[in-house]
Amino acid sequence: MASTTLPDVSTRRQKAGIAPLEYTRRLWLQLILAGSFVFLYFPIFALIAFSFNDSKRNITWQGFTFDYYVKAFTNSSLHEAALNTLIIASISTVVSTVLGAMIGLVLQRYRFPGKGGYDGLIHLPIVIPEVCLGVAMLAFFSAISMPLGIATVTISHIAFSFPFVAVVVRARMEGFDLALEEASRDLGASEWQTFWNVTFPYMVPGVVAGALLAMTLSLDDFVITFFTSGPGSTTFPVKIYSMVRFSVTPEVNAASTILIVLTLALTVAAMMIQSRSDKKTKKANG
Amino acid sequence: MVQTRKVKAFGPDVGTDRRKPIIEIRNVVKAFGAGVRAVDDVSLDIGEGEFFALLGPSGCGKTTLLRMLAGFEVPTSGDIMIAGERMEGVNPNRRPVNMVFQSYAVFPHMNVERNVGYGLRVTGVAEAEIKTRVAEALSLVKLGEFGKRMPNQLSGGQRQRVALARALVKHPKVLLLDEPLSALDAKLREAMQLELVRLQKTVGITFVIVTHDQDEALSMANRIAVMEKGKVRQVAPPADLYEFPNSRFVADFIGKMNLFEGRVSGVQNGNLQIDIKGLDRVAVPFTGSASGNIAIAIRPEKVKLGQTDPGGDNVRLRGRVTELAYYGNESHVYLENQTGMPISVNLKNATRTTLPSISIGDELWMSWAPTDTLVLTE
Ligand SMILES: Nc1ncnc2c1ncn2[C@@H]1O[C@H](COP(=O)(O)OP(=O)(O)OP(=O)(O)O)[C@@H](O)[C@H]1O
Ligand SMILES: [Mg+2]
């Protein structure tokens, strides 16, 4: 019995030409892959498509037009929001990159009393629900009676961005050979020279990736900004939200599309820098 | 040479060097935490222009001692003097020594020239001088053509040459090398051993090399310190270390050794009388003082094998061949015997034949001269 069924199975497999581990050639798996892709991207494609819709209402397709991009680009309150977003994002990116890089390096390299607790708490903003962080920030600023504005938004953005930078920089430094620093010291360099000539060049890909991450986080943050911004300090995402509440026109779609393109470009840049440096390290090690 | 050997046969070399010391290590202790003494009360002088090796098993504290010379570790107690100056509180970048790291630590983001010139650039040497000195150092390690290459375009052996050039370009008084050859394959390692010796002769500075490979130490160094558990057990030139080890540990660590435990029963005409199980009474020339439990030892290549009793005053016993190992240039024979310890004997394969002269199960006489016998009191 066994001897007749066994070859049977193998000939069936051979006909289909699918090896036991070639799951990706099975129809059911391909369907799941395609389905999840549609589920993920259909809303975004629809959003982008309807930004070209020649209709006041955003429900039925009427025809192609760039009108709403023109409108979005000439909307002065959107301009103000965009400018705020850029100011906040640049300051937040610079500060959180410097802070995050230093903390990432310290956490990767040194042991100090209370490190375990510090390490855990530093990463808390990554997991804490954003609403809670937003409420906490708001409560904090009103407690020290700081008027809500660009400054409060920037401070909040720094607070939730720098842990991400720290994580990225720390991961980068895991692969660093400490003997390189010793060699530099041995060859006559001071600690300061050693840091800038040897340690920092190795850190750079991590720092750049962290900076781009901090930038995208700040650019598209809604929840925390919503809590901590005041009159005149509205950012792009918050502005889009208020436009939606007013009415859903293709102008909202156009503005959102601009934001998507911007963040996408930054993310792709971050990924490219990371993968290029990974390849380089691999080459250097092998 | 022969003359000194004979004299030394009755008084092992204590390993003092008459050269002016460039490194003086005085009672240096390095403790990591409580109880772990990585280096335990080491005192050593290393002379100017020496090729000195620190040899010992893994974890004996060689690297720690070397790193204290370079300034990366601070001694718990004791003094280190380099070129007559106390090194206490002197940072690594201010010491007249340079180091070649085990991982080479070649800067991955600089090309070969930038790597080699690094130590000059950070100390503010003029660009023109850097250029000539880098070219000089690269030709010294035979990497003249490779100046523009990045480290990831070099082989392991070439990277090591970069590390060497980078250290030598600084004209240090002492070059420290931590297991510099351990990452290379056997053939390349042998070539690099010769290369390092040539290099040391060329530049004339002191080399201190750390290794756990006894062949490496014996073939390269002019003096070797054998370490065990943080302590220096013996300091001597290679041949003295091999022929006159001062303890069971050194005898066993350097090369192969047949060791027999025994008891001193007396002294007769300058010969120490030793009782050893299965060997009757052995008389060995010995000048030191010895009593109680001691060991005698004989190198495998100094034991002769024969069909008949060699007679004379040879130390001799019979044994049965249990194992034969063929190594091309020589064969190792293991014989079981009355001492209870199998004795190993090395035979040169001096003639071109594939027929073994000895086979397993043969009953043979083993013998050696009393003067070849070592007495180990420690
Ligand atoms: N930073 C440290 N902290 C605690 N213990 C250490 C430290 N560095 C070395 N040791 C201990 O000191 C001892 C000697 O270490 P060392 O690295 O000098 O050995 P080694 O002779 O170089 O060995 P190997 O041949 O394996 O490199 C070891 O037991 C090691 O565990
Ligand atoms: Mg070591």
A142-195 pLDDT, tens digit per residue, is 999 888 889 999 999 999 999 999 999 999 998 899 999 999 999 999 999 999
Output the six-digit token pair for B277: 């199980």
Look at ligand 1, atom 27, and give the residue with the nearest C-alpha.
B58
- Chain B residues near residue A280 by CB distance under 8 angstroms: 108, 152
Q: What is the mean pLDDT of residues B194-223?
A: 90
B133-163 pLDDT, tens digit per residue, is 999 899 888 888 898 999 988 888 889 899 9
A267 and A197 in one domain?
Answer: yes
- Does residue A57 lie within any of the structural domains? no
What pLDDT shows up at residue A282? 60
B272-315 pLDDT, tens digit per residue, is 888 887 777 777 887 777 777 888 888 998 888 888 887 777 88
Q: What is the mean pLDDT of residues A201-211?
A: 91
Query: CB neighbours of B347 closer than 8 A, spacing ≥ 6?
Result: B305, B330, B331, B332, B333, B357, B358
pLDDT-derived band at B195, boundaries 50, 70, 90: confident
What pLDDT shows up at residue A37? 92
Please, are residues B57 and B217 in contact by the beta-carbon 8 Å criterion?
no
With a threshold of 0.80, does the pTM exceed it? no
Per the structure, the count of domains in chain A is 2
Q: Which of B122, B154, B160, B171 would you mutate first to test chain A, the one with the most A CBs within 10 A? A: B122
Judged by its nearest atom, the ligand closest to the C-alpha of residue A111 is 1
Is B102 an interface residue toward A (CB < 8 Å)? yes
Instruction: Give me the DSSP letters along B287-354.
Output: -S---SEEEEEE-GGG-EEESS---TT-EEEEEEEEEEEE-SSEEEEEEEETTSSPEEEEEE--S--S
pLDDT-derived band at B2, boundaries 50, 70, 90: very low
Domains and CATH numbers, chain B: 21-96+172-252 (3.40.50.300), 256-376 (2.40.50.100)
Q: What is the mean pLDDT of residues B213-226?
A: 90
Task: Report whether pLDDT(B190) > 50.
Answer: yes
A101 and A24 in one domain?
Answer: no
A224 and A109 in one domain?
Answer: yes
What pLDDT shows up at residue B349? 84
Beta strands B206-211 and B51-55 are parallel
Cβ within 8 Å, pair A177-B103: yes
What pLDDT shows up at residue B274? 82
A129 and A43 in one domain?
Answer: no
Please name the residue that has the structure tokens 């008027």: A147
What pLDDT shows up at residue B292? 77
Cα–Cα distance measured from residue A147 to residue A153, given in angstroms and rounded to the nearest whole number: 11
Closest atom, ligand 1, to C-alpha of B102? 27
Range of the domain at A195: 67-285
Query: CB neighbours of B144 closer than 8 A, spacing ≥ 6?
Result: B135, B138
A251 and A176 in one domain?
Answer: yes
Calculate how far, in angstroms, residue A96's C-alpha sits from the geometric centre of ligand 1: 39
Look at ligand 1, atom 19, and give the residue with the nearest C-alpha.
B59
For B171, which residue in chain A has the nearest alpha carbon? Answer: A187
Interface predicted TM-score of the whole assembly (ipTM), two decimals? 0.79
- Does residue A246 lie within any of the structural domains? yes
Judged by its nearest atom, the ligand closest to the C-alpha of residue B227 is 1
Shortest Cα–Cα distance, A207 to chain B (Å): 16
Cβ within 8 Å, pair B122-A182: no
Q: What is the mean pLDDT of residues B176-197?
A: 86
- Does residue A120 lie within any of the structural domains? yes
For the stretch B184-218, what's the b/e string if a residue is b when 16 or more beta carbons lie within 10 angstroms of its beta carbon?
beeebbeebbebbbebbeebebbbbbbbbbbebbb
- Does residue A62 lie within any of the structural domains? no
What pLDDT shows up at residue A2? 44
B222-278 pLDDT, tens digit per residue, is 999 999 998 999 999 998 889 888 888 998 888 888 888 888 887 777 788 888 877
- Chain A residues near residue B109 by CB distance under 8 angstroms: 201-202
Calculate how far, in angstroms, residue A226's C-alpha sits from the geometric centre of ligand 2: 58
Cα–Cα distance measured from residue A84 to residue A106, given in angstroms and rounded to the nearest whole number: 33
Among the ranges given (A64-68, A88-92, B331-335), the one the predictor scored with the smallest mean pLDDT: A64-68
Task: Return the sign of the alpha-carbon dihedral for residues A114, A120, A123, A124.
Answer: negative
Please name the residue that has the structure tokens 């047949």: B258
A165 and A29 in one domain?
Answer: no
Please, are residues A179 and B103 in contact by the beta-carbon 8 Å criterion?
yes
Secondary structure class of B96 (helix, strand, coil):
coil
Mean confidence (pLDDT) of chain B = 85
Q: What is the mean pLDDT of residues B37-41?
A: 88
Cα–Cα distance measured from residue B55 to residue B218, given in angstroms and rounded to the nearest whole number: 10
- Does residue A212 lie within any of the structural domains? yes
A194 and A91 in one domain?
Answer: yes
- Does residue A161 lie within any of the structural domains? yes
Q: Which of A183, A197, A283 sits opposite B101 (nearest CB)?
A: A183
How far are the Cα atoms of A109, A146, A174, B130, B216 from residue A177, in angstroms, in the given order?
11, 46, 9, 26, 26
Please, are residues B211 and B57 in contact by the beta-carbon 8 Å criterion?
no
B96-128 pLDDT, tens digit per residue, is 999 999 888 999 999 999 999 999 999 988 999
Task: Report whether pLDDT(A14) > 60.
Answer: no
Cβ within 8 Å, pair A190-B122: yes
A238 and A146 in one domain?
Answer: yes
A91 and A25 in one domain?
Answer: no
Query: Mapped to the 3 state alphabet, what secondary structure does B198-227 carry?
Result: HHHHHHCCEEEEEECCHHHHHHHCCEEEEE
Output the six-digit token pair for A40: 């993920």
A151 and A41 in one domain?
Answer: no
Task: Report whether pLDDT(B351) > 50.
Answer: yes
Calculate how far, in angstroms, residue A267's C-alpha sits from the geometric centre of ligand 2: 44
CATH number at residue A87: 1.10.3720.10
- Chain A residues near residue B170 by CB distance under 8 angstroms: 187-188
A79 and A208 in one domain?
Answer: yes
- Does residue A91 lie within any of the structural domains? yes
Single-letter amino acid, residue A190: S
Cβ within 8 Å, pair A284-B167: no
Q: Which of A184, A197, A284 sits opposite B108 (nearest CB)?
A: A284
User: Between A and B, how many CB-CB pairs are < 8 A?
Assistant: 71
Which residue out of B40, B54, B60, B72 has the highest number of ligand 1 atoms within 8 Å of its CB and is therefore the one to mutate? B60
List the 145-164 stretch of A: residues with Cβ below 8 A of B. Answer: none
- Does residue A105 lie within any of the structural domains? yes
A121 and A20 in one domain?
Answer: no
Task: Report whether pLDDT(A197) > 50.
Answer: yes
